[in-house]
Amino acid sequence: MVLKTIKGSLSIVLFIFLCIFFSCEERGWITDCSDCTASEPRESKLIVRLTGNELPVIVRVYQGEIEDSVLYASAEISGEKYTPGVNLNKKYTVAATYNTNGKTYIAIDAATPKAKYTEDQCKEPCYFVYDRVIDLRLKYTAD
């Protein structure tokens, strides 16, 4: 009986730990040392992942919420990645408009790029930017 209680408690603690570690909020626990800089960055690049398409994808970057309609940047992209320069600690909402098989699909997501200082994750203490990847790839289309 006691063993079942301990086993159940350990399962719950492990589940909570995994949820916190793999949550998409406030990442920045895993550092790519090749992206580190000695001085604190003031700006960075968003990494917007797109579905490769024959037709250009219209990408609009809004500062803040999309409902505020503060257009920050706009471009027609034919590749699989778009990297506009942005300021740190500000929210950016990105909308990608795809025209496929005579239908229009719009993918929307947001990110708030932030810088974090680490002393022990790389060879030298450095700053790195996290929460800057936005995945707007189409998973499926209604054909």
Q: What is the pLDDT of residue 55?
A: 83
Average pLDDT of span 105-128: 90
Q: What is the pLDDT of residue 143?
A: 65
CA dihedral 14, 20, 22, 26 (to 10 degrees): -170
Contact yes or no for 52/138 (Cβ under 8 A): no
Type of residue found at 27: R
Q: What is the pLDDT of residue 82?
A: 93
- pLDDT-based confidence at 38, cuts 50/70/90? confident
For domain 2-135, which CATH number applies: 3.30.1490, 2.60.40, 3.30.450, 3.40.50? 2.60.40
Domain boundaries, the chain: 2-135
State pLDDT tens for residues 40-72.
898 999 999 999 877 899 999 999 999 999 999
- pLDDT-based confidence at 7, cuts 50/70/90? low
Mind giving me the DSSP string for 29-60? SS--GGG-BSSPPSEEE-EEE----SSPEEEE
3-state secondary structure of 21: helix
